[in-house]
Structure 1
């Protein structure tokens, strides 16, 4: 049995499906099992209960616990869980830069898991293509995405690809003790991504650059803590006119190239239309 935290999230939902297809038993955690909408083959349990009976491995999404994995790890060890696969972040490549709060949050969780004595794999994806779903309202309204640093580069990755790599960390032993860095197959600016979404929905979509100060106010107003907003803006500023590195690990793990952002946009076109 594999326990999936964050099972209704962008990655978790696809991971549940991947593991079921591979013939594995899955216990998916959700705040509200009645509305989770997960495949019928999954056992769905309450996230605040996280039952561990019969569980051999755990997928940990740190977004489900800002206090870290400590409580989950203690429970897992008490029930004989063998392996933890964590959805970490490429921002960990900055190692111990105190200004890199996103990286620090993930590194602290990684270190707790390493110290637990359990088998582990830390998947370190970069930008999620799904982050652009935040643009959907603006695109539907007038076809203009307003945000900071139009020329900042990332390698956006399809959430289905992240889930496929995560599934492999459970289905074989090759990734135990590794920290694969995952990226999409191409470096794209924010402006590129807006244009590609437009191509997918058959409308002109453009990116209108806001000043960092205006963007910061909007992001904080939307509920993102100021220290994380500042870390994100610094990251974008450093990526302006600097193509992002494309990493080979996904293809090495799965044997195929990652899906392009154009494929992701086509998959999600109804959300933007």
Structure 2
């Protein structure tokens, strides 16, 4: 059995789908409230205080960690997992550990998670992930209402990563098809700024879309007015400010690990076009 934390996130859900397709038994650790695919066992609770999950880990051979799902409970979770005979752990980290961008406190959180995982005594794989292509879903409300995306730092450039690529690499590591004890930096194949991402979304939708630059503080206040916690604009705007000066990394790691080209943002836009349709 393989246990997935952050199971309701785009990466967790896609990893579950792939593992089920491979015939693996899967348990999803969630806070509840979202239906899971048929065949998945639910383990419901708060992983910030993970002692409750000990019973759910019986028989597990591998564990996928999303640090934002486990938070300060990660050390305890790893200890419990080792005690229950789990052999392998895959950590979803971030490229900012080695390529700083945004506020240091966020990269420091991923760095601490890496330190705990690599010292856990389990066979480990660390996946340092670039900007998710799925982060563009934040633009859906604007594009449902019109043809302009309004935001800050239009020149900010990253190599957006398709969640399918993340999940395929993670599934390979969880199933033991990748050598353990490795850190892999995963990115999409092409660096794109926000103007280019919006244009590619327009191509997928058959519409002429544009990106309109707004002052960062205006964007911050707008997000807070929507009820988002302070952490959300802090993460977004800090990273975008740095990527506008120095683009995020681009690697060929996905292609090397999977034996096929990494999926493009254009492919992601076509796969998710319905989310932006009026």
5+ long unaligned stretches in structure 1: none
5+ long unaligned stretches in structure 2: 47-51
Q: How does 1:1-273 map to 2 (within 5 A)?
A: 1-32=1-32, 35-38=34-37, 40-48=38-46, 49-50=52-53, 51-94=56-99, 99-172=103-176, 174-221=178-225, 222-226=227-231, 229-230=233-234, 232-240=236-244, 242-273=246-277
**What whole-Å deviation, never above 9, does each CA across 1:41-65 have from its counterpart, x for those lacking one?**
3222214443111111100111212
Aligned residues of 2:187 and 2:251 also touching (Cα < 8 A)? yes
- RMSD between aligned residues: 2.1
Q: How many Å separate the matches in 1 of 2:110 and 2:73?
A: 9
Aligned residues of 1:149 and 1:237 also touching (Cα < 8 A)? yes
**What whole-Å deviation, never above 9, does each CA across 1:169-203 have from its counterpart, x for those lacking one?**
11225331111000011110011111111111112
Aligned residues of 2:132 and 2:163 also touching (Cα < 8 A)? yes
Q: How many Å separate the matches in 1 of 2:36 and 2:235?
A: 34
Q: How many Å separate the matches in 2 of 1:36 and 1:59?
A: 19
- Deviation for aligned residue 1:68: 4.6
1:249 and 1:98, CA in 2 relative to 1: closer, same or farther beyond 3 A? closer
Mean CA deviation greater in 258-267 or 75-84:
75-84
**Number of residue pairs matched by the alignment:** 269
Aligned residues of 1:212 and 1:233 also touching (Cα < 8 A)? yes
1:113 and 1:242, CA in 2 relative to 1: closer, same or farther beyond 3 A? closer
Q: How many Å separate the matches in 2 of 1:112 and 1:131?
A: 27
Structure-2-length-normalised TM-score: 0.89
1:98 and 1:258, CA in 2 relative to 1: closer, same or farther beyond 3 A? closer
Q: How many Å separate the matches in 2 of 1:87 and 1:133?
A: 20
Q: How many Å separate the matches in 1 of 2:159 and 2:122?
A: 31
Q: How many Å separate the matches in 1 of 2:63 and 2:175?
A: 12
Q: How many Å separate the matches in 2 of 1:255 and 1:224?
A: 40
**What whole-Å deviation, never above 9, does each CA across 1:215-260 have from its counterpart, x for those lacking one?**
222334442435x644543432232265543201111110011111
- Deviation for aligned residue 1:70: 1.6
